[in-house]
Amino acid sequence: MKQLFFHGDENFWFETLRSLGHIAYGGADLGEVLLTADRIKAGDYDSWYDEWFATAERVWNVAAEAHAAGHPISARDSYLRASNYYRTAEFFLHGNPDDPRILAAYDKSITSYRHFVDLSGPSIEYVEIPFEGTTLPGYFYPSQLPSPQPLIVMHNGFDGTAEEMRFFGALAAQERGYNVLCFDGPGQPGTRHHKGLLFRPDWENVVSPVIDYVSDRPEVDTDKISLLGVSLGGELCLRAAAFEPRLKAVMAVDGVYDLGAVTMKFIEGSRDDVEKAVTADAAPEIDANIEKAMQSSPTARWAFAHGQFVMGGTTPREYAAQTLAYHLRDGIAEKISCAVLVCEAADDLFFEGQPEQVYNALTTSDKTLMRFTEEEGADAHCHLGGQRYAFGRIFDWLDVRTPVTSEDPQ
């Protein structure tokens, strides 16, 4: 998709497109996004925070005034948009974990979303999922059809929230009659910001307790459970599916085969040499190499800074070493036996070529590679800009595998 703002900074543009894409399911309004982007100084992370936070505050005030005046629908819709704008505001701040603006914006984002939930009636419910001595925050979107109905478990990826999953498939699925459970796992905002949990590669040990929790709900048809993961979640969900037999289908939006390969492309040298260097006790040349990449590439700067925040490591190199554990090699992809949908974006900023790697590694008898193109307006990573179209195709695929039971059997 043609870059309309922030020429020379693909990250600023992608995050702007992200909010533009969320218009489709109520997460933003066109004028609010365009005017905010127009005020931001390209490449200036303080400017990014200031302008998005200002927009979020303005929309929050609109919501609060509407709420106080007895206009719950107006308040609900504005709280939802404010939540997304607060999330966007703190997106680039994670290079300094102690920056007070991170929690100021994140907490306001969650409060906004919880107000949205409170004003939405029975169509959404906040849940706390028991997990290894703590809880994972999430949201249950019940089907509006008679129970039981199929369930889709959903999670975000490297940098997104459970709240954002409303725009990344939850509402689209609920509209079609599915039950949906969205959650934040370790390393994702709902557990990282206040609980300090970091990402872990054995995602099956995250997904299985979530399925345990939701399977007791009478609304859920436990013979029709599927899993959807977004962005890095496209590797995590497939990893979970390799070890979780209760899944009938898994959807990777988009397919990710090897996170380490993405990290390694910013570091000069062969893959074998770089892997040895990043896992060594000391590698000053690689440290300098990574620093050079972070200075010259906005994408590298953000990826390494945010990566340390959510995966750990005292240096960017130590974070790079962490990424090597996130892959579907060594027979993992071949263990998946359920139906698999692998989505691919023609102009993927982060994981170009990896969906096809996933697809080729799969041995399940039911696998699909679904490509999205510029002509469709859905060629960006995770199909931002074409979300109604993309999720229409995705859930049409799922309908064949875990069909919703019609309210009228005739």
Could you report the per-residue pLDDT of 183-196, keeping only the tens digit for each? 999 999 999 999 99
Phi, psi (5° rounding) for residue 327? -160, 170
Neighbours of 347 (CB within 10 A): 13
Whether residue 181 is predicted with pLDDT greater than 90 in this model: the reply is yes
pLDDT digits (tens, 9 = 90+) for 242-264: 999 999 999 999 999 999 988 88
What confidence tens digit (pLDDT) does each residue in 12-25 have?
999 999 999 999 99
Q: What is the mean pLDDT of residues 50-75?
A: 98
What average pLDDT score do residues 102-114 get? 98
- Give the pair of three-digit tokens for residue 385: 């800009």
How many residues are recorded in the chain?
Answer: 410
Strands 220-230 vs 339-345: parallel, antiparallel or unpaired:
unpaired
Task: Indicate if the alpha-carbon torsion angle 176, 189, 323, 1 is positive or negative.
Answer: positive
Mean pLDDT for the chain overall: 94
CATH superfamily of 125-258+326-400: Alpha/Beta hydrolase fold, catalytic domain (3.40.50.1820)
Per-residue pLDDT tens over the stretch 193-231? 999 999 999 999 999 999 999 999 999 999 999 999 999
pLDDT for 410: 38
Q: What is the pLDDT of residue 407?
A: 61
Q: What is the mean pLDDT of residues 117-124?
A: 97
- List residues with catalytic annotation: 231
Q: How far is residue 135's CA from residue 153's CA, in Å, rounded to a whole number?
A: 16
Return the CATH architecture of domain 7-119: Up-down Bundle (1.20)
Which token pair is 205?
Answer: 């040990």
Q: If pLDDT is split at 50, 70 and 90, which confidence band does 340 have? A: very high
Domain-wise residue ranges, the chain: 7-119, 125-258+326-400, 260-323
Confidence (pLDDT) at 409: 38
Place of tokens 């300098």: 288
Say if residue 1's pLDDT is above 80.
no
